[in-house]
Amino acid sequence: MSSDGQCQTYWQRISSYAKNHRVSVSLLLSAYGVVYLTSVVLGGWTLADWGKDVTGYPQPSILPLLPRGFINPLFFVTSLPALFIGTISLCIYRIRGISPKIVDNKEHVAILLTACGFIYQIIGTWPLGNLVDFQWEWQKQILRNGAAFAWSLYILSLAALLVGGTSVYIHSRIYHQRHPEVNIVSKIDS
């Protein structure tokens, strides 16, 4: 077999693995994005601090191998795209192929998207808000990173909420079509 055939087989295996585990990979990317983006935001670092000495910020709980001035930008540059890629791929996975005949637990992804989108909509920063109006320091810190950053997080959470909420509703309808006896019991109880 030629090297192209081996390479093709290798890439086919990677593609097949990614396709079979897309929910796990998407959840991992989203979780990485949320955890490290939160650690950067709560650490007080902003985009305006890029390239500055950050020794005045609190020491991270894990001693880094890289100088401290590189850690926050590295986490920011990797976690923001990971959050977006993970959340968007979960939304795409959730939208594709809703069917009463397929049982693949997409409703769990829909519930997760709804919960995460709702939480950020309720306690996140509102892009049109005033910096002094925010109650918590981390909300102010998100807004200090710029309007584009705050708007992008707001729109991402709104998309997750809409896709998740709509999907939960659709799955509820499918469930009641599959299990009409649940409808009868609820009518008898009322």
pLDDT digits (tens, 9 = 90+) for 110-157: 889 999 999 888 888 776 677 777 778 878 888 888 888 889 999 999
CA dist 29 and 43 (Å) reads: 21
CA dist 154 and 39 (Å) reads: 18
- Within 10 angstroms of residue 30's Cβ, the number of other Cβ atoms is 23
CA dist 145 and 56 (Å) reads: 18
In this structure, which amino acid lies at residue 126?
W
Question: Which of 167 and 68 is assigned the larger pLDDT?
Answer: 167
Tokens 């994005």 sit on residue? 33
Kindly tell me if the per-residue pLDDT of 2 is higher than 50.
Answer: no
- What pLDDT does residue 161 have? 93
What is the sign of the dihedral through the CA atoms of 76, 81, 82 and 87? Answer: positive
Q: Give the pLDDT mean for 54-72.
A: 60
Domain count, the chain: 1
- Mean pLDDT score of the chain, rounded to an integer? 79
- Write out the residue range of the structural domain in which residue 151 sits: 3-189
Kindly tell me if the per-residue pLDDT of 103 is higher than 80.
Answer: no
Q: Give the pLDDT mean for 40-56.
A: 72
